[in-house]
Structure 1
Amino acid sequence: MTVALLPPKMDFVFKRIFGNEDHPNILISFLNAVLNPVDPIKSVKLKDTTIEKSHLEDKYSRLDIKAKTNNGEHINIEIQLKDEKNMIKRSLYYWSKLYESQLESSEKYQKLSRTICINLLDFNLFKHDRFHSVYRLKDCETHEELTDVMELHFIELRKMKDIQHIEEIKSKLEAWLYFINHPESELIEELEKFEVEIKEAKAELIRLSGNKKERERYEKRRESLFNKLSALDSAREEGIEQGIEQGIEQGAKKEKIEIAKNAIKNGFDNETIIKLTGLSFEEVENLREK
Structure 2
Amino acid sequence: MFENQIIEGDNYNKLAKTVCINILDFKYLKNDKFHNAYRLKEINTNEELTDAMELHFIEIPKLRKLDDSEEISDMLEVWVAFIQNPDSEIVGKLEMSKREIKEAKSELVRMSGDSKERYIYEKRKESRLEKVSLIESAEQKGIEKGLKEGENKKAIEIAQNAINNNLDDNTIQIITGLSLEEIKELRNKKQGLC
Aligned-partner Cα distance in 1 for 2:61–2:83: 11
Q: Which moved more, 1:276-285 or 1:152-161?
A: 276-285
Give ranges in structure 2 of 5+ residues lacking alignment.
167-180
Which consecutive segments of 4 or more residues in structure 1 shift more than 6 A? 101-104, 139-142
**CA shift in 2, pair 1:102/1:243, >3 Å:** farther
In the alignment, what sits opposite 2:173? none
Q: Is the 8 A contact 1:116 1:150 kept in 2?
A: yes
Q: Quote the offset at 1:224 in angstroms.
A: 2.7
Question: How many angstroms apart in 1 are the aligned matches of 2:163 and 2:12?
Answer: 69
Identity %, equivalent residues: 41
CA RMSD of aligned residues (A): 3.7
Q: Matches of residues 154-165 of structure 1 in structure 2 within 5 Å?
A: 154-161=57-64, 162-165=66-69
d(CA) in 1 for partners of 2:48, 2:160: 56
* Structure with bigger gyration radius: 2
Please give the alpha-carbon distance, in whole angstroms, between the structure 2 residues aligned to 1:192 and 1:212: 25
Deviation of 1:116 after TM superposition, in Å, equals: 4.2
The aligned residue for residue 109 of structure 2 is 206
Identify if the C-alpha distance between structure 1 residues 222 and 285 changes in structure 2 by more than 3 Å, giving closer, same or farther: same
Aligned to 1:120: 23
Q: 1:238/1:179 Cα in 2 relative to 1: closer, same or farther (>3 Å)?
A: same
1:285 has 2:187 as partner: no
Which residue identity does 1:232 align to in structure 2?
A: I
Among candidates 37, 41, 49, match of residue 147 of structure 1: 49
Q: Does the C-alpha gap of structure 1 residues 257 and 150 become closer, same or farther in structure 2, counting only changes over 3 Å?
A: farther
The residue type paired with residue 182 of structure 1 is: N
Paired residues of 1:259 and 1:277 also in contact (CA < 8 A): no
Q: What is the aligned partner in structure 2 of residue 185 from structure 1?
A: 88
Aligned residue for 1:133, secondary structure, equals strand
- Quick one: distance in 1 between partners of 2:182 and 2:162? 12
- Residue equivalent to 1:35: none
Unaligned runs of 5+ in 1: 1-67, 69-73, 75-98, 264-273
Deviations 1:204-225 (A, max 9, x none): 0011122233323333333333
**Inter-partner Cα distance in structure 2 for 1:154 and 1:247:** 38
Question: Who is 1:219 aligned against?
Answer: 122
SS in 2 for 1:193: helix
Decide whether aligned partners of structure 1 residues 275 and 178 sit closer, same or farther in structure 2, where only a CA change above 3 A counts: closer
- In structure 2, do the counterparts of structure 1 residues 151 and 259 end up closer, same or farther at CA, with 3 Å as the change threshold? farther
Moved more, 215-224 or 197-206: 215-224
Given the two structures, how large is their TM-score scaled by the length of structure 2? 0.68
CA distance in 2, matches of 1:260, 1:103: 75
Instruction: Please show how residues 1-290 of structure 1 align to structure 2 within 5 Å.
Output: 74=2, 111=12, 116-126=19-29, 128-138=31-41, 144-148=46-50, 151-161=54-64, 162-165=66-69, 167=71, 169-262=72-165, 278-279=185-186, 281-285=188-192
Counterpart for residue 172 of structure 2: none
Which whole-Å CA distance do the structure 2 matches of 1:227 and 1:153 have between them? Answer: 26
Return the structure number with greater relative CO, CA threshold 8 A, min gap 6: 1
Are the aligned partners of 2:42 and 2:49 in contact in 1 as well (CA < 8 Å)? no
Q: TM-score, normalised by structure 1?
A: 0.48
Letter in structure 2 aligned against 1:189: G
| Number of residue equivalences | 175
